[in-house]
Chain A
Amino acid sequence: MLLRHTKKASESIERKGLTINPAKTCQPVGAMYAALGVHGCLPHSHGSQGCCSYHRTALTRHYKEPVMAATSSFTEGSSVFGGQANLLQGLSNIYSIYEPDIVAIHSTCLSETIGDDLGQIVGKARVEGQIPEGKHAVYAATPSYVGSHVTGFSNMVKGIIDYFAYKTEEVKKQLNILPGWVEPSDMREIKRMLKMMKVKYVMLPDTSDVLDEPMTGKFKMFPEGGTTIPQMASMGDSIKTIALGEWCSKDSAIHLENKCKVPFHIADMPIGIKATDRFVQVVAKAFRISVPDSLTKERGRLVDAIVDMQQYLFGKRVALFGDPDQCISLTEFLVDMGMKPVYIVSGTPGKAFEKRMASILDKKVPEAKYMNGERADLFLLHQWIKDEGVDLIIGNTYGKYIARDENIPFLRFGFPILDRIGHSYFPTVGYMGGLRLLEKMLSLIMDHEDATVAEEKFELVM
């Protein structure tokens, strides 16, 4: 019954005001995730208590880790008189009970609509002493009715850079890496690649060793990982910023250039062969080094595996949903393996999406349909699939309804993943990440074949 409610696109229901089964969520959760990648930082939600609770729950379910964040606990009074009093009292309480070095405040639809000005309130808190000497408070406006969770992530990273990065006389031979909204495992993998290339870097944010903490028998309010204050400060002196993902990282890179004159390069998230090649090239060029053999070999192993298994990949139709930066690189990767990403939706708005998808798909997969923004939701994706099926679905956990209803293999990828583990530990970026994606896709497609193929066609060797 659950998804029998979806009708074919050809017998579509008229939709003007209605979103069904969204392929996005709202800004604050992204701001919270970004802030967790800063060492000693407590995210703070300036709004009703529920927002904070929902975001913590979503992140907790995705990572199976404690996620700490405070809230201004708005009341009816705050919605009339403004939330200034709540935030001032909140800051004072936070520094005295939880003792963070940094509080990263994000707004909500409520505080934005009633007109709370975070900059002004934080300024007042600094003057009046609610923010103690030597402690920090950064902030970002993250109205839930603009953009999506990706926008919130981007805004918070920008807010953090705005506060901490500054330029001194000394130029530091290091790169700023803005990884965008990827998993702790991905951040760890990007760092591993940079180490292989012997490149110095500052990564912001960095949720490795925060949301993939080992079991120690202790609960740490502020885990070991996260970008440190000296690291963030030094970003103003770096030779270059490499911003991964236009949606996640572009604004922050531009802001850093404006503020500290650090030039930037916007690259796609390094998912798949070509996007990883481009990332490696831009790092090598910025640091004037050649690509180490060890990394070239990793690339070779990925290409080798694709060659070996191409007969199972070629022509396979894929439906994909998620965040624009991930979808763009992943679509390119799928096309490079001979697969056909035929349906792509992202709830996150932004005109560049269509342009990028067109450039990747129009010649090679002319039948592809793609859409982002309002009403680019999982209901639409399901309608498309009902019209003409696919061999694989890729997306966050919410794709499981469609996968079950249509009996299609399903690769969990993106945020949130509420029903499987692995994303915290195994990357999907870089050549090794590509290998993992390939292995997962193949296993799903081949398991499905094993389970459904006629007995006489059931093969031992594949």
Chain B
Amino acid sequence: MALLEERKKQIATVVGANQLELDCGKKSLAGSVSQRACVFCGSRVVLYPVTDALHLIHGPVGCAAYTWDIRGSLSSGPEINRLSFTTDLREKDVVFGGEPKLYSALCELIDAYKPEAAFVYSTCIVGVIGDDVDAICRRVSAEKGIDVLPVMSEGFNGTKKDGYKVACEALAKLVGTTDVAVPEFSINILGDFNLAGELWMLKDYYEKMGVNLVATITGDARIHQIRNAHKAKLNVVQCSGSMIHLAKHMKEVYGIPFIKVSYFGIEDMSDALYEVASFFKAPELMQKAQDLVREELKDLLPALAPYKKILQGKKAAIYVGGAFKAISLVKALRLIGISTVVVGSQTGNKEDYDLLKQLCDDGTIMVDDSNPVELSEFVKEKSADLFIGGVKERPIAHKLGLGFCDHNHERKEALAGYLGMLNFAKEVHATVMSPVWKFTKKGRK
């Protein structure tokens, strides 16, 4: 396969102790069919699950159209976040400025819906035509008496990862704006977006342990919870790429420590509970956590066994948004007898890739910011049976005759927690063992 010189450093094969450093955190090459997105996309996905806020997209219609109800982040209450609001900038606005339109759109929205707060997303051209989004937000905020938060997410201003940071900055402005007392063992969950109701499972686990959740940011989030988030004693951060900035900010300003966890797979899920228990140094919490894990595993392990038996020896390729998630996936797959032969991410950092290297078997291909041509070559080379990725990888995997599991926005079943592990095994089993593969050329061979 033709590889550009510049790309070679972003691909490595795990070979014993002396491994090549993976060159990550780089901007994508111009002209690549990258699977990555932009700053706006990063901010939008992170803030989207704040269910009782207005989300107004200031820009041409596309940015709003493509992010209308984009992820299966479930709400237990308000759903105004699922509507698509935009200023639909036209040529005349680009020439004369979009501020009047933004002002009137914001006022119209706030009058109609009386939301708890509003996020205003700035898109590429807003940055270029010089609309003072900040000033409009301040003005409307003063006039209407609610928080109107600018999200400076011009698409070209970095990668999706930078968008996470911008979103965290907007959230940080809300944190600390109320002071309601909370119980002693109180935490915030950061970086779970309640896809397929996963957050509700976690909430249930923590509450069974006797731990109170102050704010969930941003899965099923409410503005008033975010305002009070600084009252928690600990931030439990998943998907560290997206929420780490907020966790660091809260540590700096409010002295709240954070731990990084993952909820995928038995080991990581259990660790996420134990670590919270040990943080509070309360034996009763640890006892309850251990009881909970024991109780869950009593049913789960026997339920997993038949899947492991069938799937033993199958090979998987993983290409996901962040490398931290990939680490959990490698472990979860191992639990059901599947080895990982290709692993990569759009936006992984050095730390995560180093961990992955320790974890993966020799010969595993590791790749940062890949493209479809590379991915399909690697998958063929390693004769994988299963691909785990997002929306753009699915049809490629299927065309190659591989089973596919969506571990991104399009997951339909909860994959986190103990039940999630079983769902994951079922989903992997269904796709890898589907009878349809016998009709494909690969199957006929």
Chain A residues in contact with chain B, CB under 8 A? 1-3, 5, 7, 13-22, 24-29, 42, 44, 47-58, 60-61, 63-76, 78-79, 86-87, 89-94, 96-99, 108-110, 113-114, 143-146, 148, 213, 215-221, 347, 374-375, 398
Q: Is the CB of A53 within 8 A of B41?
A: yes
User: Which B residue sits closest to A94, measured CB to CB?
Assistant: B31
Contact B155 A49 (CB under 8 A): yes
Q: Which 5 A-B pairs have the closest CB atoms?
A: A50-B38, A26-B62, A90-B31, A93-B31, A48-B155
Which of B206-214, B389-397, B424-432 sits within the interface?
B389-397
Which of B123-131, B246-254, B264-272, B359-367 interfaces with chain A?
A: B123-131
Of the listed stretches B99-107, B187-195, B302-310, chain A binds B99-107
In the complex, chain A residues whose CB is within 8 Å of the CB of B37:
49-50, 53-54
Q: Are A109 and B27 in contact (CB under 8 A)?
A: no
Main secondary structure of the interface of A (DSSP, over half): loop
Q: CA–CA, A24 to B87, complex, Å?
A: 13
In the complex the two chains form, is B4's CB within 8 Å of A79's CB?
no
Query: Which of A26, A44, A49 is packed against the most chain B CB atoms within 10 Å?
Result: A49
Stretch in B74-82, B172-180, B278-286, B349-357 touching the partner: B74-82
A143: nearest residue on chain B (CB-CB)?
B91
Residue of A nearest to B28 (CB): A73
**Residues of chain B from 31 to 53 with CB closer than 8 A to chain A in the complex:** 31-41
Scoring B residues 46 to 70 as 1 if CB is less than 8 Å from chain A, else 0, what string do you get? 0000000000000111111111100
What is the distance, in angstroms, from A124's C-beta to the closest C-beta of chain B?
15
Q: How far is the CB of B112 from chain A (nearest CB, A)?
A: 4
Q: A90-B30, A374-B88 are in contact. Are A54 and B395 (CB under 8 A)?
A: no
- Rounded to whole Å, the gap between the CB of B60 and the closest CB of chain A is 4
Contact between B156 and A48 (Cβ–Cβ < 8 Å)? Answer: yes
Known: A50-B41, A76-B158. A25 touches B31 (CB 8 A): no
Contact indicator A17/B61 (Cβ below 8 Å): no
Contact of B65 with A26 in the complex, beta carbons under 8 Å: yes
Tell me whether B20 is interfacial, beta carbon within 8 Å. no
Q: With A49-B28, A146-B91 as known contacts, state yes or no: A70 contacts B33, CB within 8 Å.
A: yes
A13 touches B111 (CB 8 A): yes
**B interface residues, how many (CB within 8 angstroms):** 85
Cross-chain contact A69 with B33 (CB below 8 angstroms):
yes
Considering the chains assembled together, what is the distance between the CA atoms of A404 and B89 in angstroms?
A: 30
Q: How far is the CB of B24 from chain A (nearest CB, A)?
A: 16
Task: With CB as the reference atom, state the residue of chain A lying closest to B7.
Answer: A97
Residue in B closest to A87 when the chains form the complex, CB atoms: B30
A53: chain B residues within 8 A (beta carbon): 34-38, 41, 392
Q: Which residues of B contact A86 (CB under 8 A)?
A: 30
Alpha-carbon distance between A25 and B84 when the two chains are bound, in angstroms: 12
What residues of B have a CB within 8 angstroms of the CB of A29 in the complex?
Answer: 62
One of B64, B80, B156 near A76 (C-beta < 8 A)? B156
Are A108's CB and B372's CB within 8 A? no
Cross-chain contact B125 with A113 (CB below 8 angstroms): yes
Contact between A114 and B128, CB atoms less than 8 A apart: yes
Nearest CB of chain B from residue A357's CB, rounded to whole Å: 22
Most buried by B among A13, A20, A99, A221: A20
Set A19, A26, A73, A93: member contacting B27, Cβ < 8 A: A73
Q: B413 at the A/B interface (Cβ < 8 Å)? A: no
Q: Is the CB of A347 within 8 A of B61?
A: yes
Q: Which residue of A lies closest to B401 (CB)?
A: A217
CB-CB under 8 A from A55, the residues of chain B are 66
- Beta-carbon contact of B85 and A18 below 8 Å: yes
Which partner residue on chain B sits nearest A220 by CB separation? B399
